[in-house]
Amino acid sequence: MGATGLVELSLRPTRCLADVIVVDDVSQAREEAGDLVMAGETVWSRVVPLADVVVGKARGRLGDESITIFKSLGIAWRTWYLRS
């Protein structure tokens, strides 16, 4: 998912119902991910940073029926590069 900006949408509102929403950076998503911001505060309890999923601090999927979305803000490559 790639729209960035508070008035841009790349996720339909129903997709914000995913069990886990992985983002490059949560604070950046709060500023740039219009689809998540417009979904309201309840969505943020399911938003986790990609780095936490990669190192095992957060689960990418909760089970076989779980829906996970990666909402890209275009900064994940920097996180990976800086941590490697």
In the chain, the amino acid numbered 51 is A
Where in the sequence is the domain holding 64, given as residue range(s)?
13-83
Task: Establish if 7 belongs to a structural domain.
Answer: no
| Total structural domains within the chain | 1
Task: Establish if 2 belongs to a structural domain.
Answer: no
Task: Establish if 53 belongs to a structural domain.
Answer: yes
pLDDT tens for the chain, 84 residues long, are 444 444 444 555 545 678 999 998 999 999 888 888 888 888 899 999 999 999 999 998 889 999 898 888 876 565 555 555
Which residues 6+ apart lie within 8 Å of 28 measured at CB?
73, 75
Return the pLDDT at 8. Answer: 46
Task: Establish if 49 belongs to a structural domain.
Answer: yes
**Residue 51's CATH number:** 3.40.50.720
Distance, C-alpha 52 to centroid of its chain: 11
Task: Establish if 5 belongs to a structural domain.
Answer: no
Task: Establish if 78 belongs to a structural domain.
Answer: yes
Task: Establish if 34 belongs to a structural domain.
Answer: yes
